[in-house]
Structure 1
């Protein structure tokens, strides 16, 4: 009987102390930054300089940071073909259509996680060093998203 009471008291103490123990020692919890790309797809396509659909072939994590780079094999270029072929560093591999994209894992971008094997629409910008960087959330490949992106880029808006 004593063992059950002791065990109950021990569990109660652990449950009471565990939430306090999970807080940082300095006493404050830093709020997560809010993502800034909560705009509709139409506005995001206007802001992006390069829009491609692509297959994530390789993920390269950076040490001591949340952000990482991905090697992406381009399936289709919707916008920025000249930039992709001539204006980026490192240049696109003409044999495999692979480009390097930075900015994955950026907390300012809502849906920013990519995994090997993902096929997504990527809305990109070229940074001052010539690298292609994720501009806004990754977009799922659906027939509707492909049609809308194509229409927005060509200036032909779809009304459903």
Structure 2
């Protein structure tokens, strides 16, 4: 019995040690990849959009980077910058490159992921191979009601404090209405309205 108790104690200590190590590693990773303020990320991106990754393409085995075909649900900024040569499949999809770039903290996606993308037109030195692509400019953001509201405040030029986020519940009436319909199940909004309301697709 004593041997079993000792084993359980040792296993418990080992589990705690592993948990502490995991937390320290996570903190270390965050420290080595500091994220820029949302206001600055929005300013540095000419285009901000929400979309769903439909296909992963152009894998570079040397640099471990890749591009994605993304179905666009909504432009939060810069729709006028997206010219016809960038649009794919009838105008509702774009090609975005720069995934896997070590200079961007959150830079990985899988097929089916819905995110907020901060992008720019591909710079001239990447032409002609990437001339019709948009390039990831900073970390991806998950689609949530809070994240959408924060980005919208930044795009609208609100103060940095407001841009960084409001207290839960202080959202626009339109957004509340969309979320209410989705929660009650009446007139289920479908993918576009779900994304606009910050709901998973």
Question: Equivalent residue for 2:77?
Answer: 79
Partner SS for 1:106: coil
The alpha carbon displacement at 1:43 in A equals 1.5
The alpha carbon displacement at 1:92 in A equals 0.4
The answer to whether the aligner puts 1:120 opposite 2:115 as a matched pair is yes
The answer to whether the aligner puts 1:146 opposite 2:148 as a matched pair is yes
Name structure 2 gaps, 5 residues minimum: 1-31, 168-201
Task: Give the whole-Å Cα distance in 2 for the aligned partners of 1:156 and 1:39.
Answer: 17
Matches within 5 A, 1:11-90: 34-35=32-33, 38-60=35-57, 61-86=59-84, 90=85
Q: How many residue pairs get matched?
A: 123
The higher relative CO (CA closer than 8 Å, separation ≥ 6) is in 1
Bigger shift: residues 116-125 or 61-70: 61-70
Name structure 1 gaps, 5 residues minimum: 1-33
The alpha carbon displacement at 1:95 in A equals 2.1
Task: Give the whole-Å Cα distance in 2 for the aligned partners of 1:68 and 1:97.
Answer: 20
> Contact conserved, 1:73 with 1:96, CA < 8 A, in 2?
no
Partner SS for 2:108: coil
Partner SS for 2:90: coil
**Structure number with higher helix proportion:** 2
The alpha carbon displacement at 1:42 in A equals 1.7
Task: Give the whole-Å Cα distance in 1 for the aligned partners of 2:68 and 2:156.
Answer: 28
Task: Give the whole-Å Cα distance in 2 for the aligned partners of 1:70 and 1:111.
Answer: 15
Question: Equivalent residue for 1:26?
Answer: none
Question: Radius of gyration: which is bigger?
Answer: 1
Closer, same or farther: CA 150–76 of 1 in aligned 2, 3 Å: same
Which aligned segments of 4 or more residues in structure 1 are displaced greater than 3 angstroms? none
Partner SS for 2:88: coil
Question: Equivalent residue for 1:102?
Answer: 97
> In the TM superposition, what whole-angstrom CA distance separates every residue of 1:69-113 from its partner, at most 9, and x where no partner exists?
000011100111111134xxx520262511000100001110000
